[in-house]
Structure 1
Amino acid sequence: MKLKPNYIEGIFNYCDRWCERCTFTSRCNVYENTSDLTPEQLDIHNKAFWENIANNFKEAMQMLRQKAEEFGIDPNDPELSKGFDNREKTKKEIKKHPLAKLSWNYGSEVFEWMKKTEAIKEKGNEVIRDVELGIVNERQAEKEVASLQDCFEIIQWYEHFIHVKVMRALMGKAEDDGWERENGFQRDFDGSAKIAAIAIDRSLQAWAVLHNLFPQNEDEILNWMATLQKMKSIVRAEFPEAEKFIRPGFDEPEKYP
């Protein structure tokens, strides 16, 4: 499929999928294809969501068959099945990696905490009391509430995202045959590792703010911050060239001001 002239090729491969906060939506092919979806089509619990998924899958399979014919590939070749089996074995091994375990546990724990915590409600009531007592003015209160909301949104957005990108990076590294580097391309797994590291950094910054706002949750917050720091160290060790990876659009300010 031919891209429009202003589109940035591959920009969506190394983004954080947070379209509402992205400045490149007008240059993203994926955003254009999803921005006109109805609320029902975006709701995982709605029938329209799954109908849309089914239609997209059908289109993808048609394109796959066309490409297979074009390159003379037989989809029923037993060697292909063998390749899929090997990939499943690799995936099982990757799940045992310390980084995979840490990111999975972090996402699961934070998700459960976010569901149960009354921290936002309690802090909101505290801010209201401070305004009523004249301790802070309304503008200060609005700023504090906005900062609080922003931090919670950041943490929730990345809680599972980190694991997904970490797994993609680890799988990519395990399956790397050297072709990308030999042919002058950046390695995809480095790009996945880079966006995972960015998500970790942003989560750390958000937790640091919440640590100051919620001293009663200090132990939990410090534990998650320590986990994130550990993940960050492992990402750097496993993917030493990830920081050099140039993400289309995002890491090219001169090309796309």
Structure 2
Amino acid sequence: MTTATKYTITLPPADHATVMAEQWSFQLLEDGRQTSIGAHDYAAIFRRPGLYEQLFYERLRCTSPRLASEALLSALANDTGDVHRLRVLDLGAGNGMVGELLPAARVIGLDISADARDACLRDRPHAYDAYYVADMADPDDELLKQLGEWEIDAFVSISALGFGDVPVAAFVNAYNVVADGGWVVFNIRENFLDARDTSGFAELVKEMTSTGALRVHRMERYRHRDSIDGDPLFYYLFVGRKAHDLGAAA
């Protein structure tokens, strides 16, 4: 990884609404001037080497990439599988923090943001065997053809679901690229699985588990990272095997 600048970051005062919605901005001191950047303004964050890591992984103590990769390795070990044979699709790949932790035969990155791909190529150029920039909610035939040629048999999506970055349709289309019997690992914030959810993921996860489309090997509630007020944000991690495709998302 590229040696990164250490940034001067000021988090905003926390209130319940911003903590729940994650609709906050932080102040970044650059060349003597303050710049306001939204927590989900990934283009601005990824253009600054190391800022994403410093904000979310050092300051807010995110644990998810390592937990997800370790959970997959553990599931494979319990099932006498070999990670070195897997061909993994990483949806919402960002700047490659998950991809670099997976010692698979092939790891394919996919993100809607060209800035994310550029950051990955700058900071973790060996994380992926290929990195596609595309809207998986509306994939074209050529993209689906190319993904099919990788013969993908594992799927990960970490820290990407529920806030609109990866909508339900994108998740479903990516899931359906994976071969039946393939491994699936994803995480999602706990409030996107409750009865008040409007993202569509609560209904989707219920469908996946109740119909057997995903045979769950592990489901775990854990501290994903700290919120801006210092309290833990809890997510659920799912590890399982795909039994069959999902129906088209609405």
Fold match (TM-score > 0.5): no
The structure, 1 or 2, with the larger RCO (C-alpha pairs under 8 Å, 6+ apart) is 1
Find the structure with the greater CA-based Rg. Answer: 1
Higher helix share: 1
Higher strand share: 2
